[in-house]
């Protein structure tokens, strides 16, 4: 059942993406990134590019958070080993 729901959710996301791309097919905008300015960029590229950039930012933030948690767990494990306490696994 959950596999069917996942497939339906994926199909809905794809359908929304295709619908957005079709609805904005002829629209073009100017993208000013400070040092560079791009003229006549399709809105679809801007939207999907923003989504990809957001995923990249979340990936970097997630890696930083994961490294912090691993560092804390390692310190806790070393402290537990020094005291002869139970080993966390």
Position 55 scores a pLDDT of 96
Domain boundaries, the chain: 2-83
Q: How confident is the model at residue 61, as a pLDDT?
A: 93
Nearest to 51 by CA among 39, 63, 40, 43: 43
Q: Return d(Cα 64, Cα 43) in angstroms, integer.
A: 32
Q: What is the pTM of this model?
A: 0.62
Backbone dihedral angles phi then psi of residue 22, each to the nearest 5 degrees = -70, -40
Q: Give per-residue pLDDT as tens, 44-72.
A: 889 889 999 999 999 999 999 999 999 99
d(CA 49, CA 89): 40
pLDDT tens digit string along 7-26?
Answer: 999 999 999 988 988 888 88
Give the ranges where the chain is alpha helix by DSSP (H).
2-23, 43-83
């Amino acid at each position: 059942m959950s596999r069917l729901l996942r497939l339906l959710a994926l199909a809905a996301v794809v359908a929304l993406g295709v619908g957005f791309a079709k609805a904005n097919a002829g629209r073009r905008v100017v993208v000013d990134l400070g040092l560079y300015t791009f003229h006549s960029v399709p809105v679809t590229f801007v939207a999907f590019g923003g989504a990809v950039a957001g995923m990249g930012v979340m990936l970097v933030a997630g890696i930083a958070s994961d490294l912090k948690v691993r560092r804390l767990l390692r310190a806790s494990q070393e402290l537990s080993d020094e005291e002869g306490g139970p080993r966390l696994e």
